[in-house]
Amino acid sequence: MVGRQITWISSWKPQRRTTTSNGRTPRYSHWVRYNTFYGLVFTTTLATLLLMADLIEWRATGYLFVLANRFPGTVALIVQLLAAFFGLIHVAVVCRLINYALRLRLRKASVTLDVLRTWVDMSIPRIDWDLPLRFFFPVLLVVFLSLVPAALWAGSITPFIDRTTTTGMLLLPSYEDVSLIREYPMEIGTSGPSLRTQKGFFTYSVGVQHVGNLLSSAASASSSTTGKRLVHPKLDNTQFSYIGRSYGVGAPAGLTDMSISSNSQVAGYIYQEEGYLCNVTCIYNRTSAFRLRGPVAEWIYEASGNLPDSVDSGEMSAYIGHTGDAIVAIGVAHSERSPRRYLALAAGPSYAFLNSTQCALDFTPHLFNVTVDIANLNISVVPANPIPDFNPQRNLTRTVMRQFELLSNDLTNLYVSLLGDALNASIAAYNMSRPPNAGRDPVSVSEEAATLAGLTNSITAMADDMLAAYASAQLMVGKTFTQKRDVQVYLYGLQFGQRVYIYAIFVFNLLVLGAVAGEAVRTRGWRELGRFNYLDPRDLVIAASRGGEGVAWAADGLARRHSKKKKGAGEKRKSMKHVWLLSDPDEGNGSLSIRMKGDGEGHVGIVVRSPLFPPSPDPEKGERGGGGGGGFEDGGDAVDADKRAAQREWDRRRRQKQRVGLFGSM
């Protein structure tokens, strides 16, 4: 125990590191001095790895992802333990810096016992409720800051679900062979090839076999909520829905993506697909030649006339009804040589708002960005850029146009036009989506404009769905009419920590490293640091015993003076010089000022700060001054005259008000 201390007097040089014959000055090894700082190797490595992982957007997948999702409680426990461990390393380093700095300060300054307690609390750290408030709040700040590193580490290593990317393969529809995409007769048994599976019903007779789905699309084409994108289902049993327009693409989702969606960690994927961007423009053409006539026979009415793109002859189709009031007819050019980009509507009095309307459909070959969200079963399509026509013969677009004429026939009965009701529903939804004050606005949308807007939305929605239906038929019925395409797949993965906490802990670790390096340079590697440590009770006990009885005499003197003052004041309570928080003040020794003194053999002792607190014996009890201590206390065995002179100096100094600050006084 005696050999644990080395003096810190300026003449001592740590490079000499010799051991005396009595063994009382052992070496202060490199490991003993710097071992705590080596913990920064772990924190620096981990902080750097976390930063690099965030920069390259690395995510943990596979078995680690499965374990984290299966045992979240265990993961939380491990995170808390690791955060506490790495936070403890940072706190230990900072506290060691504080301890070293104050130990070096202690060799030069005198401190009160309250200041020494404060240093102990700041070096551990801990809250001492008995401290005066001027020392309590700095300690409280240090204790609070000691909790920050562990909290930052917890935010930096806590895993949460994010996404990462990989590649996959997807089968897309090919239009190199469009032999099955054509208009089939409406007679029973003459429809196009079809296939029914668990994934849905797929057919090349789209306008006849998908009547219900197309009718639903027409009715819901206009959103009744302002500013929200329309969500509508895909025409199969895959449960996918489009957010916004489909543009006729996205058919592979749920049909040919099994190699991707079979992975339970897949969140979605993105790919590009060729399709047609259908722009629909509807107007009122009061001079349209396409008219409803009849009856030409019992319950038979004829819709006929030329369209702007009619070739060779006009258009003609027959409709049934008790009267012509509930008929909504659509005319489309029938010639194979027609570009087929116009459709005209002729309607009876019950649907007069649709009569003489005409729409032009422009199909522009485009490349689309398709995003498939497997988790939420959503498909989002965004046009990218125009491309050369992938179906120069326009079999696909001309066949789509002819489906409108078939739909109008199928959806008209003796009493009502289901197509007319669906278009009316779209128009009504468009009116409801207008702002509430639109009716009072002098430039608000007119009824004719609202009709044309609702009609445009319905025609656009049906055209998109029919293009998607033919794409699905190419995949599921044609089977060989496909092409492979690489896609970008998003996988669920674990991201460790949030970016703000990762950067915060990285910067904090750099600050700690900088503080260690700065202190090492400033103190020359703590070359003047002695082995005495005020945190070690062994060192305190030994140093106090070497200092003699001076500290005890000074403490007793303070207590006696305090007692005499109370008696002289008639037992009145003395006003406290300092403020305590939760305990009574220790008037006896809290303000006692001490200092450290070394001897020639490399040992230190705790002595009273002689200029302010010399030995103060009690003459009434016959006590003698002194309190030997091997030369640690000035005037240990002085003559009575010297003691009286010291007493007078003590009384003079005692009357001077001097406060020792947080870092002691010189």
Given a contact cutoff of 8 angstroms between Cβ atoms, the answer to whether 173 and 390 are in contact is no
3-state secondary structure of 16: helix
Which residue has tokens 């000691």? 146
- Tell me how far apart the terminal alpha carbons of the chain are, to the nearest angstrom: 30
The answer to whether residues 266 and 385 belong to one domain is yes
Q: What is the tens place of the pLDDT at every residue in 97-115?
A: 998 988 888 888 888 787 8
Kindly state the tokens that stand for 375.
């988790």
pLDDT (0 to 100) of residue 87: 93
* Residue carrying structure tokens 């002695």: 530
Angle at 365 between CA 344 and CA 196, to 5 degrees: 75
Are residue 386 and residue 471 in the same domain, yes or no? Answer: yes
Q: Do 383 and 520 belong to one domain?
A: no
Token pair, residue 515, equals: 């503080």
Q: What are phi and psi of 269, to 5 degrees?
A: -155, 160
Whether omega for the bond prior to residue 614 falls within 30 degrees of 0, making it cis, is no
- Tell me phi and psi for residue 60, to 5 degrees: -85, 130
Pairing state of beta strands 357-373 and 378-386? antiparallel
Q: Are 277 and 397 in contact (CB under 8 A)?
A: no
Could you tell me if 187 and 238 lie in one domain?
Answer: yes
C-alpha span between 448 and 284 (Å, rounded) = 8
pLDDT of residue 436: 58
* Predicted local confidence at residue 635, as pLDDT: 40
Q: Same domain for 66 and 54?
A: yes
| C-alpha–C-alpha distance, residues 148 and 125, integer Å | 13
How many other β-carbons are positioned within 10 Å of the β-carbon of residue 86? 24
Strands of 524-653, DSSP E: 593-598, 604-608
Identify the burial level of 365 via C-beta atoms within 10 angstroms of its C-beta, where 0-12 means exposed, 13-18 middle and 19 or more buried: middle
The domain of 401 spans 164-493
Can you give the pTM of this predicted structure? 0.65
The alpha carbon of 501 is separated from its chain's Cα centroid by a whole number of angstroms, namely 10
The beta strands (E) that lie in 527-632 are given as 593-598, 604-608
Q: Which of 507, 529, 551 is the last residue of a domain?
A: 529
Long-range contacts of 60-65 (CB under 8 A, 24+ apart): 60/159, 60/493, 60/494, 60/496, 61/164, 61/265, 61/491, 61/492, 61/493, 61/494, 62/265, 64/494, 65/265, 65/492, 65/493, 65/494
**What pLDDT sits at residue 240?**
95
Measured at the alpha carbon of residue 335, what is the angle toward residues 331 and 338, in degrees to the nearest 5? 90
Q: How far apart are CA 264 and CA 286, in angstroms?
A: 58
- Looking at residue 227, its pLDDT comes to 58
Residues 326 and 435 in one domain: yes
Strands in 593-598's sheet, in edge-to-edge order, are 111-112, 593-598, 604-608
Task: Dump the DSSP string for 510-546.
Answer: HHHHHHHHHHHHHTTTTTT--S--TT-HHHHHHHHHH
Residues 78 and 116 in one domain: yes
Q: Cα 140 to chain center, whole Å?
A: 32
Residue ranges of the chain with per-residue pLDDT less than 50: 1-26, 439-440, 442-443, 569-577, 611-639, 657
Structure confidence at residue 271 (pLDDT): 95
Total domain count, the chain: 3
CB atoms within 10 A of CB 182: 15
Q: Write the pLDDT tens digit of every residue in 286-336.
A: 999 999 998 888 889 999 999 998 988 888 999 988 888 999 999 999 888
My answer on whether 544 and 627 are in the same domain is yes
What pLDDT does residue 571 have? Answer: 46
DSSP string, 397-428: HHHHHHHHHHHHHHTB-SS-BHHHHHHHHHHH
Average pLDDT of the chain to the nearest whole number = 81
- Joined tokens for residue 369: 């960005």
Residues 596 and 507 in one domain: no
| Same domain flag for 399 and 502 | no
* 14: preceding bond cis by omega (within 30 degrees): no
516 and 446 in one domain?
no
- Do 511 and 437 sit in the same domain of this protein? no
pLDDT tens for each residue of 458-471 = 999 999 999 999 99
